[in-house]
Chains A and B, each alone.
Chain A
Amino acid sequence: GESVGLHLPTLSVQEGDNSIINCAYSNSASDYFIWYKQESGKGPQFIIDIRSNMDKRQGQRVTVLLNKTVKHLSLQIAATQPGDSAVYFCAEIGGTSYGKLTFGQGTILTVHP
């Protein structure tokens, strides 16, 4: 079936470093991708999105890259801060998955001061 997965379940970085979180997806018909951040005890929060007609989108300290050829998505966080420590999920929508977000497993990002 369709799935979205993450290469690394955990990532530890030092404060100030750049972080890269990766995600692979299998549905080539996906139209739209979202990165969510989930802090302990909270629901997921939107970080950034990208549509399939783009290959890069930048936000504040975050950049999402989309490589449709290899069905790969990444989230780059610049100058990572302790407040960035959370679980990060990628999610995809599109094709036949009308109305449904398909989530990846999540990557735990830990930022050490």
Chain B
Amino acid sequence: DVKVTQSSRYLVKRTGEKVFLECVQDMDHENMFWYRQDPGLGLRLIYFSYDVKMKEKGDIPEGYSVSREKKERFSLILESASTNQTSMYLCASSQTGSLSPPTLALVEQYFGPGTRLTVT
């Protein structure tokens, strides 16, 4: 079974702190994603990566950055946490589709359990 793990289930940080959220997947997936989930807004894509050292902005990248130094690990960084970044953060991974040209996301994404971040 695919396993996607996230470093913390619950995290409380102060405004202005630098926050690192770590995600690791064990299935050698090429693609990794970071989402945030908020009531009434559903899941929104922050950043994704389709290869080591590659990253693409999602729908709401402002205030976030990411790092993918190894294939299995994708980190989300809040440079200076703010209260409006209080949310549930979900990491996901997927293989690349087998169609030609490769279509990144025409395959299932596997999600981690989430990190509930509170910024006070």
Question: Interface of A with B (CB < 8 Å)?
Answer: 31-32, 34, 36, 41-46, 49, 51, 89, 91, 93-94, 97-101, 103-106
Is A99 a contact partner of B105 (Cβ separation < 8 A)?
yes
* In the complex, chain B residues whose CB is within 8 Å of the CB of A36: 111
Give the contacts of B28-74 with A (CB-CB under 8 A). 31, 33, 40-45, 48, 50, 56, 58-59
For residue B108, CB closer than 8 A to chain A, the reply is: yes
Nearest residue (CB) in A for B113 is A43
Is B42 a contact partner of A89 (Cβ separation < 8 A)?
yes
A-B contact count (CB 8 A): 61
* In the complex, chain A residues whose CB is within 8 Å of the CB of B108: 34, 46, 49
Query: Which of B4, B42, B110 sits near A104, CB closer than 8 Å?
Result: B42
Nearest residue (CB) in A for B106 is A32
Is B110 a contact partner of A46 (Cβ separation < 8 A)?
yes
Is A43 a contact partner of B90 (Cβ separation < 8 A)?
yes
Is A100 a contact partner of B59 (Cβ separation < 8 A)?
yes
Q: Identify the 10 closest CB pairs spanning chains A and B, nearest first.
A: A43-B111, A99-B104, A103-B43, A103-B42, A93-B105, A44-B111, A46-B108, A105-B42, A32-B106, A99-B105
| CB-CB under 8 A for A99 and B90, given A31-B106, A43-B113, A45-B111 | no
* In the complex, chain B residues whose CB is within 8 Å of the CB of A93: 105-106
For chain B, give the interface size range.
20 to 34
**Chain B 1-21, CB within 8 Å of chain A: the 1/0 string?**
000100000000000000000
Is B43 a contact partner of A100 (Cβ separation < 8 A)?
no
For residue B85, CB closer than 8 A to chain A, the reply is: no
Q: Tell me the complex Cα distance, A85–B109, Å.
A: 21
Is A106 a contact partner of B109 (Cβ separation < 8 A)?
no
Q: Tell me the complex Cα distance, A45–B31, Å.
A: 17
Is B42 a contact partner of A106 (Cβ separation < 8 A)?
yes
Q: A62: shortest Cβ distance to chain B, in Å?
A: 15
Is A44 a contact partner of B106 (Cβ separation < 8 A)?
no
Is A99 a contact partner of B43 (Cβ separation < 8 A)?
no
Query: Which of A43, A46, A100 sits near B48, CB closer than 8 Å?
Result: A100
Nearest residue (CB) in B for A46 is B108
Is B109 a contact partner of A101 (Cβ separation < 8 A)?
yes
Is A100 a contact partner of B58 (Cβ separation < 8 A)?
yes
